[in-house]
Structures are given as structure tokens and as C-alpha cells.
């Protein structure tokens, strides 16, 4: 059927909208357009300039929103959202009621089981009541018979014990007479044994005193060894010039030692060069020197040779250090006993040695206070110390507010005491003794 629709622009007061040449209101006009799928509000029947290009550039959600607009479904968005929210609410209520129903079923099942157990227990008690009463009476009768038999047996035992005591007293009197007769001989032998034990105790006491003296000397030597390189007044990283001075630009070096500190420098240097040659260590021993008149070690400067890259240079030095350590060449006897061996190590800067000495003091504090060695982690190069995975000391990080600053580093005694399960006073007392050598 043909429909004639007309709208004057701008609309006149009496004939703005017409359907089949009949004036209608704007609302009726819009309804008639909607009945033939023409939605004036969403512009789905007129194509303005630029609409095609703008539509081609739309993507994703923007394109979907455009389709909803021209199809008119956008007007149902609010109803859809309200119904979706109501649906979610009803689903939540259904889940709650289902859970409540399931809990009620389980609770009823549990109560039924308890009731069945209670009924079964009541029936068992009634069934066993008579049997238990008869058994108890039989046990009482048996106990009375046992008591009478025990009383008779006790009377017999008392008579036997009395007779045995009389016999024992007579035997004891005879034995006392024999002991008195042999007492003099026993006293003499005991006196001789006491004299011999006294002599042995005197000998043992002398040995203990010697061991204590040795331990004291060993502790002193350990303290000296711990602070040896940190308290040295020479630089192990320096090298001599031809004029006998010190190179203002220090080079890395290998320190080779193990001899007595009072040994002459020429003897130490000769032995170092001899052993390095025998071990075929690929080092420039002609530049080796001893920094003083008498030292137990020598310094061998090292540097990369012509055409040698950094990897080959490090490998050559590492192999030389390994050969020296594995050779275990005996250089003399220790004062407390045992062999002294030649050793070798890379030189370190004074600052690194001070950090290592600081970390060594913290390690010694923890071990002397019966700390667990497995929970202890130490970085000597940085002075960092962890106990039970918690940092308690450092020589490179900023100290916390409750830390004790000593020398190049700091130690947090409250944290360490808490990790070790010790009192702070005892830990502080021991640390005051150890930190005196750190300056």
C-alpha cells in the first residue's frame, strides 16, 4: 500500500507533518515512520555527506555501537542492563538456596547417623548390663581367694626371712673378723696406689699446663694472622722501578710466601724464584722483589704480555696459583708443631683487606658465640655478613639506625642477637673485645 509522508522544513504551525495529505502530530508522525522501519532519531534512512567515509573508518566497539544506533536496538540498552542485573541477582539467590539446601541435607544425614549410633549404643548397654554384673561378682570372688593365698604365702616368707637373717648375721660376724685381720695389708696397698696416682696427676697437670700455654700462643698467632695484611705498612700491589722506588701506578701482583718473617729478603727471593722455576709457573719472576729487609714472602708483579688477550692472561695466572697450592712445598716447621707450606694469593688493595678483616671479625664473633656455621654467609671483599638469610653487617652499605660503626663497616648487634637467640648484653661484651683491633 502506498503511503504519502511529508514534513515541511521548517514546520508550519498547522501543517508541519502530514501522512496521506492529513495533518498529524509530531508523535504520530514518528510512530508512522517507525512502523515502516524509518527511525528519524538514529538517521537510518538519510545518508549525509561524509557518512560513508566515517562508517568505513569505524572499528570494533565503535562500529558495533553504530549498528545498534541505526537498527534502533540502542533504545533497549537500559532495559537489557536492568534485566541482566536482575538475572545475575536471581542466579546468585538460586546458588545460595541450592547451597543452603545441600547443607541441610548433609546436616540431616549426619544427625540420622548420630541417632543410629546412639540407639545402637543404648541397645548394647542394655544387652551387656547383666553380663557385666556377673563378671564383676566373679572377679570379686577371685580377688578374695587371691588375697587369702597371699596372706598365707607372706607368713611363710616371713619365717624364711627371719631364719635367713640369723644365718646372715652369723656369717657377717665371721667376715668382719677376717676384714679386720686383713685391714693393715689393704691400707698399705691403698697408700701405695694413692702415691702412684698422685705422681700421675702431677704429670697430667704439667701436660695440661703445656697444652694451655700452647693454646694461648695459638690464639695469639691466629689474631696476628687475622690482622696481618690489614696492619701491614707496605702495599702489595706496588712494583719497584729501576731506581728502587715505587711505581705511582700500581699493577696487580701475586704474593708468594710461607717462610719465617725474620728470614732475609735475599734468601726469600732466591727460594721463591727457585720453586716457581721448578713448578714451571709461567710468571715473570725476574721482576719479583721482597718489600723489606726481612720478610717471609715475595711479590711477583703480573701483566698481560704482548699479543695476550685478557682471557689468556687470567688463565695463565690462575694455572700458576693452582700449581703452587697443589704442590704443598714444605718451607719449615711451625713453633707449635707441624709443617709450614708455601702459599700464593692475588694481592688486594688496603681497602679490600680492611673489609676482609672486618668481615673476619664478625665471622669470629658468631662462631665463638656458638653460631650455626650453616646459617653463616660472608663476603670478605665487601664486608657483607648474613646470618639466617638476614644481613647483620656490611662495609659498603649505609648503616641502620641501631648499628655499631667500627672501622670501615657496621654491625647491627640487636638484629644478630635476635637471629642467634642470644642476649644483647653478652654479644655486645664479646664484640667490644674483638673490635679493639679494627681501629
> Where among 347, 362, 387 does a domain terminate?
347
Considering the domain architecture, whether residues 370 and 412 belong to the same structural domain is answered as yes
> Where among 320, 347, 374 does a domain terminate?
347
Residue 271, pLDDT score: 94
Q: Is residue 382 part of a domain?
A: yes
Considering the domain architecture, whether residues 358 and 293 belong to the same structural domain is answered as no
Q: Is residue 221 part of a domain?
A: no
Q: Is residue 105 part of a domain?
A: no
Name the strands in the sheet holding 5-7, side by side, starting at the edge strand that comes first in the sequence: 5-7, 17-19, 22-23
Considering the domain architecture, whether residues 274 and 240 belong to the same structural domain is answered as yes
Residue 162, pLDDT score: 78
Q: What is the pLDDT of residues 192-205, one digit of tens each?
A: 776 777 777 777 77
Considering the domain architecture, whether residues 323 and 359 belong to the same structural domain is answered as no
Residue 242, pLDDT score: 37
Residue 157, pLDDT score: 79
The C-alpha atoms of residue 426 and residue 369 are separated, in whole angstroms, by 9
Residue 243, pLDDT score: 41
Q: Is residue 203 part of a domain?
A: no
Residue 70 burial class via C-beta count within 10 angstroms: exposed 0-12, middle 13-18, buried 19 and up? middle
Q: Is residue 313 part of a domain?
A: yes
Considering the domain architecture, whether residues 338 and 312 belong to the same structural domain is answered as yes
All 3 cell numbers of residue 150? Answer: 597371699
Q: What is the CA angle 347-352-355, rounded to 5?
A: 140
Considering the domain architecture, whether residues 241 and 330 belong to the same structural domain is answered as yes
Q: Is residue 176 part of a domain?
A: no
Residue ranges in the chain whose pLDDT is less than 70: 1-3, 5-16, 39-49, 51-52, 69-70, 72, 74, 129-134, 176, 179-180, 184, 186-187, 190, 194, 207, 209-251, 348, 439
The structural domain count of the chain equals: 2
pTM reported for the whole predicted model: 0.34
The C-alpha atoms of residue 25 and residue 30 are separated, in whole angstroms, by 9
> Where among 347, 366, 387 does a domain terminate?
347
Considering the domain architecture, whether residues 401 and 370 belong to the same structural domain is answered as yes
> Torsions phi, psi of 72, nearest 5?
90, -5
CATH of the domain at 299: 3.30.70.330
8 A C-beta contact, residue 18 and residue 24: yes
Q: Is residue 299 part of a domain?
A: yes
Considering the domain architecture, whether residues 272 and 370 belong to the same structural domain is answered as no
Instruction: Give the structural domain span for 265.
Output: 234-347
8 A C-beta contact, residue 363 and residue 378: yes
Considering the domain architecture, whether residues 387 and 340 belong to the same structural domain is answered as no
Q: What is the pLDDT of residues 20-66, one digit of tens each?
A: 777 888 778 778 877 777 766 666 666 666 766 777 777 888 778 77
Considering the domain architecture, whether residues 429 and 355 belong to the same structural domain is answered as yes
Residue 188, pLDDT score: 73
Considering the domain architecture, whether residues 354 and 342 belong to the same structural domain is answered as no
Q: Is residue 281 part of a domain?
A: yes
Considering the domain architecture, whether residues 252 and 339 belong to the same structural domain is answered as yes
Amino acid at each position: 500500500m502506498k503511503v504519502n509522508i511529508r514534513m515541511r522544513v521548517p514546520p508550519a504551525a498547522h501543517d508541519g507533518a502530514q501522512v496521506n495529505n492529513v495533518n498529524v502530530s509530531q508523535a504520530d508522525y514518528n510512530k508512522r515512520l517507525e512502523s515502516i522501519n524509518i527511525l528519524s532519531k538514529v538517521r537510518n534512512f538519510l545518508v549525509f555527506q561524509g557518512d560513508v567515509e566515517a562508517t568505513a573508518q569505524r572499528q570494533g566497539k565503535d562500529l558495533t555501537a553504530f549498528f545498534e544506533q541505526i537498527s534502533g536496538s540502542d533504545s533497549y540498552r537500559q532495559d537489557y542492563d536492568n534485566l541482566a542485573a536482575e538475572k545475575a541477582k536471581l542466579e546468585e539467590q538460586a546458588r545460595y538456596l541450592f547451597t543452603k539446601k545441600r547443607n541441610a541435607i548433609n546436616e540431616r544425614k549426619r544427625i540420622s547417623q548420630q541417632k543410629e549410633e546412639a540407639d545402637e549404643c543404648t541397645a548394647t548397654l542394655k544387652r551387656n548390663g547383666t553380663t557385666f554384673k556377673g563378671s564383676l561378682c566373679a572377679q570379686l570372688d577371685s580377688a578374695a581367694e587371691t588375697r587369702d593365698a597371699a596372706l598365707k604365702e607372706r607368713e611363710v616368707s616371713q619365717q624364711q626371712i627371719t631364719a635367713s637373717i640369723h644365718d646372715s648375721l652369723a656369717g657377717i660376724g665371721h667376715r668382719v673378723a677376717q676384714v679386720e685381720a686383713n685391714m693393715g695389708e689393704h691400707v698399705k696397698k691403698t697408700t701405695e696406689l694413692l702415691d702412684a696416682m698422685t705422681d700421675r696427676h702431677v704429670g697430667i697437670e704439667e701436660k695440661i699446663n703445656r697444652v694451655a700455654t700452647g693454646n694461648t700462643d695459638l690464639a695469639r698467632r691466629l689474631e696476628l694472622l687475622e690482622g696481618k695484611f690489614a696492619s701491614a705498612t707496605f702495599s702489595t700491589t706496588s712494583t719497584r722501578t729501576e731506581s728502587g722506588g715505587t711505581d705511582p701506578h700500581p699493577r696487580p701482583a701475586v704474593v708468594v710466601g710461607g717462610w719465617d718473617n725474620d728470614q732475609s729478603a735475599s734468601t726469600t727471593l732466591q727460594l721463591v724464584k727457585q720453586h716457581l722455576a721448578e713448578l714451571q709457573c709461567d710468571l715473570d719472576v725476574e721482576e719479583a722483589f721482597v718489600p723489606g729487609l726481612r720478610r717471609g714472602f715475595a711479590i711477583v708483579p703480573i701483566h698481560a704480555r704482548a699479543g695476550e688477550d685478557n682471557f689468556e692472561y687470567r688463565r695463565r695466572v690462575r694455572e700458576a696459583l693452582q700449581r703452587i697450592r697443589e704442590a704443598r712445598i714444605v718451607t719449615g716447621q711451625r713453633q707449635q708443631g707441624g709443617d709450614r707450606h708455601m702459599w700464593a694469593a692475588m694481592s688486594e688493595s688496603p681497602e679490600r683487606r680492611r673489609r676482609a678483616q672486618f668481615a673476619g671479625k664478625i665471622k669470629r664473633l658468631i662462631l665463638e658465640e656458638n653460631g650455626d656455621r650453616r646459617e653463616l654467609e660472608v663476603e670478605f671483599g665487601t664486608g657483607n655478613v648474613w646470618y639466617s638469610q638476614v644481613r647483620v653487617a656490611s662495609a659498603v652499605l649505609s648503616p641502620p639506625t641501631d648499628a655499631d660503626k667500627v672501622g670501615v663497616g657496621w654491625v647491627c648487634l640487636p638484629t644478630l642477637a635476635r637471629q642467634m637467640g642470644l642476649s644483647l648484653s653478652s654479644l655486645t661484651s664479646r664484640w667490644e673485645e674483638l673490635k679493639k683491633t679494627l681501629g
